[in-house]
Structure 1
Amino acid sequence: MTLAGDCRSHYWKYVDDLTFAENRSSSVTSNLQTDLDDFLKWSVDNQLKLNPAKCQAMQICFKTDSPPQPDLKIGPTPLSFVSSAKVLGVWLQTDLKWDGQVDHMWKNSNRRLFMLRSLKKFGFNTSELVTIYRGYIRPLVEYSDVIWHSTLTSKQAIKLENIQKRALRIILGSNYVSYDNALVVCNLDKLSDRREQHCLKFAQYIVQV
């Protein structure tokens, strides 16, 4: 898809998701509305129907006196400004913290730990349970970790690590001695170590590109 006209804002598209963003001084007028108007016209010309009710806006500013939010709309429908929004599976907040993202991963992972506990009762062995954990639960707490890992608080990092601790307690049952021992028995790394590795690999990839 190519947007018509000279789009002043940055934009990212993935399948049916499109995100506009601009970086401007608080004294400069926003160009987002002009780009939204151009995009609406492009959509009509290409027979695509937008759903303004699913669209939201967010303003990030750390000044004591934040500038007024621009009046943004798609057609006649005004866009509501929110303090957090989910963008391609990642929860972004206006304060650029990760409370919402961590809570989201925590809740989804806990739901799947119940499944792991059920499979343990049905007689699945340690190797099988570790495979299920690695493929079905751990990805939930590592999704897009190169984005948020470096700015996690200690409390958030511990909260995520506790998900793996709980999983290993379920997997090993009465054979669980300690977290460090369980990691060795199950041939797993700490989640914090894995995130460091992911960030390093991502940085090396960026340098090569």
Structure 2
Amino acid sequence: MPENTASSCPLFADDTKLYRKIGNEEDREILQADLDNLQKWSDDWLLKFHPNKCKVLQVKGSPNNNRTYRLANQSGEVILEKIVSEKDIGVTVDANLDFRTHIQNSINKTNSVLGIIRRSFTYLDKTLFKQLFKALVRPHLEYAASAWSPYKLKDCQMIENVQRRATKLLSGFKDPSYEERLKKLKLPTLKHRRIRGDLINDFKIVNKKFDERVTSNIFVNDTNERTRGHTFNNVATRS
């Protein structure tokens, strides 16, 4: 399928995405032509797309335009719906690429789980709390964090407040400060864990532990030998 398009066409299971940087009318025509080619491919292989499930998301940085895109079905051509956010493999991507919607959804979900824990357990000791928090709460706040990790202080505080409130569920933990509660529970901050996760992924990328077809353009080696030590001292992030 991707061989039939000029635009990028990543696939995951039965999901297909088509994206292209739009700079002028020619780019828009190419994107529409790619949609037409995908439709022809689906007709040839009898694997039909569902036009009502196909959406158009214009992300931050794209020039504002009223161009519509079409996809055909048995009843004729369908104008694809324009949206401001879409859930993709568990992560809600929004038009501004600040992932505020995803962050808020994750916080709402974890607050609901914490409410269930509070109502279900009359007493929580440190061991049981850590098991419940790590298994039922924290995964919602860390899933695919390397993709949406916030850089704004407000978003970081919103996420951290979930753990801040959760640690107060324990008897005798309401008065100590947040830092003291974490020390007693031997838990790091959520921000620390996101940074740690990024560093682990950086290590794996630089040492080619991931598929190089996906990570080849993330880092580049600086050929300047002004630094001493191993060769990775000169690794820089590609903007």
The interval holding the TM-score normalised by the smaller chain is 0.7 to 0.9
Question: How many angstroms does 1:111 deviate by?
Answer: 0.9
Taking a change above 3 Å as real, the CA distance of residues 4 and 175 of structure 1, as seen in their structure-2 partners, is closer
Tell me which residue corresponds to 2:66. Answer: 68
Query: Number of paired residues?
Result: 203
Tell me which residue corresponds to 2:146. Answer: 146
Higher relative contact order (CA 8 A, sep 6+): 1
Cα pair 1:5 1:38 within 8 Å, conserved = no
The residue identity in structure 1 corresponding to 2:140 is: L
Question: Normalised by the size of structure 1, how large is the TM-score?
Answer: 0.87
> Which stretches in structure 2 are left out of the alignment for 5+ residues?
209-239
The residue identity in structure 1 corresponding to 2:202 is: A
Tell me which residue corresponds to 2:213. Answer: none
Distance in 2 (CA, whole Å) between partners of 1:69 and 1:48 is 27
The residue identity in structure 2 corresponding to 1:9 is: S
Cα pair 1:112 1:137 within 8 Å, conserved = yes
The residue identity in structure 2 corresponding to 1:205 is: K
- Counterpart mapping for 1:168-187 below 5 A: 168-170=167-169, 172-176=170-174, 177-187=176-186
Tell me the secondary structure at the aligned position of residue 187 of structure 2. Answer: coil
Name whichever of 11-20 and 183-192 sits farther off.
Answer: 11-20
Cα pair 1:183 1:189 within 8 Å, conserved = yes
1:20 paired with 2:21, answer: no
Question: How many angstroms does 1:92 deviate by?
Answer: 1.5
Taking a change above 3 Å as real, the CA distance of residues 83 and 97 of structure 1, as seen in their structure-2 partners, is same
Taking a change above 3 Å as real, the CA distance of residues 6 and 17 of structure 1, as seen in their structure-2 partners, is closer
Question: Normalised by the size of structure 2, how large is the TM-score?
Answer: 0.77
Cα pair 1:84 1:93 within 8 Å, conserved = yes
The residue identity in structure 2 corresponding to 1:95 is: N
Question: Identity over aligned residues, as a percent?
Answer: 24
Cα pair 1:36 1:74 within 8 Å, conserved = no
Please, what is the CA RMSD of the aligned residues?
A: 2.0
The structure whose Rg is larger is 2
